[in-house]
A and B are shown apart, each in its own frame.
Chain A
Amino acid sequence: MNNGDFMKEPQITQKISFQLLGCMYYGNPFHSAEEWTIENEVGKLWQRFMTLAGKYASILSSISTNNNIGYEIHIEPEEYKTTKKYYVFVGVEVTNIKEVPLEMFVKILPETRYANFTTKVNDKDSGAYIFKEWMPQKGYGQAYPYVIEAYDSRRFKGINDSESEIDWFIPVRKV
């Protein structure tokens, strides 16, 4: 498996608790489009979030920790193997949840350490390499069945720009 595309060696973070505001999807994201494109269900989810983010810009701008960064979380439920359905949440990190637009949801993730690394948008190998080789070699296992992708608009210019970067956060624990 290739790991030559890493921007730098993955880092283990301090314990972090993400509190996000956004939109949720449950199902098979490839239902309406087979490949990872903006036409699949996750692409549509982002479009829904962006529309709401525009509608509620005054709220989001006052509670968002960083308007440049969008988060996409993939959560595997136990039944995934048989249903091929899973949860996808997209949104932004927020400082408080006192005012939540009706159409949006709050996601508070467990406090945990993360393996944090950056890949180019088209890098298909590094993620699997992290799970199957890097983490076991370093004595880490996955703490929870989810992964966070962070899209920083200063470094992510769309899926067709091969220089676009994604920051990954995989919840880990010492094993």
Chain B
Amino acid sequence: MPSEKPLMELIESLGHSFDGILSIVKAIGNEKRLQILIALLTGAKSFDTLKKETALKKTALSNHLKILLQQGLIKKPEHGKYQPTHDGNLFIRTIEYAYTKSNSWKKNQTKSLQTRQFSDPFIEAIFAGKRSFT
């Protein structure tokens, strides 16, 4: 749910937390790390499984996992397995909530509904012969 703090309190809080928020946003704001967080929503996964699902090379995956671990977004409950932390779940769910309430989401929904190609019968119909304008 979005913060309901009064404006001045919100600004003050954001100011105090600026560096922390920026670190989290940077950690999540990467295509592969976001993919990893989403992949882990279904439960703990091994390094090899994540490697397969993200199509990342070993070193690259290790680096991304290291950043997510450092930011406390994922944890290793047992050797070789990774899963999201409470924070990881909270940030992913909050981002999803905010995005699906946003105008960007509505705009993209509308666009995806309209982005289609002609069917073959329609192409044949509109290009069949003489035009109508006089």
Contacts and interface: CB of A to CB of B under 8 A. Distances in A.
B129 A132 contact: no
A159 B119 contact: no
A63 interface: no
Given A76-B119, A76-B122, A142-B117, A128 B127 contact: yes
A93 interface: no
A108 to B, nearest CB: 13
Interface in A114-128: 121-122, 124-128
B128 A143 contact: no
Interface in A157-175: 158-159, 166, 173
B78 interface: no
Chain B interface size range = 20 to 34
B118 A142 contact: yes
A76 B129 CA distance: 18
B127 A159 contact: no
Nearest to A156: B133
B8 interface: no
Chain B interface secondary structure, helix, strand, loop or mixed? loop
B121 A81 contact: yes
B116 A124 contact: no
A128 B123 contact: yes
A159 B126 contact: no
Interface stretch (A6-14, A15-23, A34-42): A34-42
A43 B116 contact: no
Nearest to A144: B114
Interface stretch (A53-61, A98-106, A145-153): A145-153
Contacts of B125: 84
B3 interface: no
Contacts of B133: 43, 46, 70, 72, 90, 149, 151, 156, 159
B119 A80 contact: yes
B114 to A, nearest CB: 6
B130 A159 contact: yes
A131 interface: yes
Interface string A74-88: 101010110010100
Interface of A: 29, 35-38, 40, 42-43, 46-47, 70, 72, 74, 76, 78, 80-81, 84, 86, 90, 110, 121-122, 124-128, 131-132, 141-145, 147, 149, 151, 156, 158-159, 166, 173
Given A43-B133, A145-B114, 15 more contacts: A36-B132, A43-B134, A46-B132, A47-B134, A125-B127, A127-B127, A128-B124, A141-B117, A142-B118, A144-B116, A145-B116, A147-B118, A151-B131, A151-B133, A159-B133
Nearest first, the 5 closest Cβ-Cβ pairs linking A and B are A127-B127, A42-B132, A142-B117, A36-B130, A43-B132
10 contacts: A36-B129, A40-B132, A46-B132, A70-B133, A81-B121, A121-B130, A122-B129, A128-B127, A142-B118, A149-B133
